Amino acid sequence: MSQQARARRISVTGLGYVGLPVAVAFAAAGHPVIAFDINAERIAELKRGIDRTGEVEPERLGAAELHFTADPADLARADFHIVAVPTPIDDSKRPDLRPLLAASRTVGRILKAGDIVVYESTVYPGATEDDCVPLLEAESGLRFGVDFFAGYSPERINPGDPEHRFETITKVVSGSDPDTLETVAAVYGSVVRAGIHKAPSIRVAEAAKVIENTQRDLNIALMNELSLIFERMGIRTKDVLEAAGTKWNFLRFTPGLVGGHCIGVDPYYLTAKAETFGYHPDVILAGRRVNDGMGAFIAAKLVKMLIRKGRAQGARVGILGLTFKENVPDLRNSRVPDIIRELDAFGIAPLVHDPIADAEEAEAEYGVRLAPRDSLRELDALVVAVSHRTFLQEGEAGLAALLRPGGILIDVKSCLDPSRLPAGTEYWSL
């Protein structure tokens, strides 16, 4: 570790899916780390070695020498402040910067001369310097670029992915001036083994992050639109993609529900900012519309299948999975509730089961009361909405056993082999 990096005392504000792995990595590398979150219950759990997100293993969490705290005054002990709080969208699908601005005020109150504040939260280009820095100045009474400095280093953590971790993903860094850039690069370089990319400006780094997920969102939107087309043609999309995928330069994306705190959210940060410059981003917003409509499409398809079988009235429907992604307990911006709401509009109240989702959070966030596993029996239809490992381990026959004879199995992610299903089971996938 360079002397430039070693001299810095780190604070991390926001200990969720992004902030906690960052804090643990810096502590493991020998940095003094103040790990702060406004959620006192979360801090108490972490002190007991419990990470409800599942991103940091208990033994790794226990071995990290971190100072967990819900007291913002403790942040004053650090001089290199990393902000990793959520940046959601509101009900109108506009950027909601309230968590980020609140965190900026908190850090600003303890800011000292010589401190550096680095933001990792996904934002639109300009948010760090135009929205956050003025709050840091107002709360601290210090001058930006003279007394304190700023940087932006976008998070790239992939929840539930043990291979692509904070330390093993190339880190993009930026700084408000050349000296700050070098310091930020040195600090992150002391823990990130995959290498450092120095962006020429904070705005470039912000833009790079927001287009990463925008690009992915658009590629999935194309696959979803293709699935809508192939459905009308009576062709299974997975078969088409497997054939097309034999070409070396075919991009391997698949259709599905697009939720979570990144892919389903980040494009709106870019489009909102684009509109302030007088540009309406047709392609990006079209992709969002396609992806946001997939839950309703799946539900409507299921209802049509039930009607054709004469089972729509009083149908027993089970849904496996509520989280936004397989093997991850995160419920934020899940699109499975879109399926639930559409079925409810047709008078069908599905039984929803998810063994890794928090039941209280599911009810508070979506009004969904999770059903026990043994309640899913004698079903007219079963929707495998999220391909959790525990569901796939049951196998095709095990899942089909939850159905009445001639029941319907909806495979949202095309993760099952229909040839292994018992005779008489009606199968459909995106």
Task: Tell me the torsion sign for CA atoms 315, 320, 325, 330.
Answer: positive
Contact 123, 99 (CB under 8 A): no
Nearest to 117 by CA among 162, 183, 68: 183
What is the rounded distance in angstroms from the CA atom of residue 350 to the CA atom of residue 407? 15
305-341 residues labelled b (16+ CB within 10 A) or e (exposed): bbeeeebbeebbbbbbbbbbbbbbbbbbbbbbbbbbe
Residues 6+ apart with CB under 8 A from 182: 4, 175
**Which residue out of 157, 218, 262, 430 is catalytically annotated?**
262
Region label for 379, one of left (φ > 0), alpha (ψ between -120 and 50) or beta (otherwise)? beta
Estimate to the nearest angstrom the gap between the alpha carbon of 418 and the chain centroid: 30
Estimate to the nearest angstrom the gap between the alpha carbon of 197 and the chain centroid: 23
**Which stretch of DSSP H or E encloses residue 35?**
strand 33-36
Contact 75, 13 (CB under 8 A): yes
CA distances from 71 to 11, 40, 43, 107 (A): 12, 9, 10, 12
What is the rounded distance in angstroms from the CA atom of residue 36 to the CA atom of residue 53? 16
Quick check: is 132 catalytic?
no
DSSP-derived secondary structure letter, 167: G
Long-range contacts of 44-53 (CB under 8 A, 24+ apart): 46/15, 46/20, 51/20, 52/329, 52/358, 53/16, 53/17, 53/20, 53/159, 53/328, 53/329, 53/330
DSSP-derived secondary structure letter, 144: B
Please identify every residue annotated as catalytic: 262
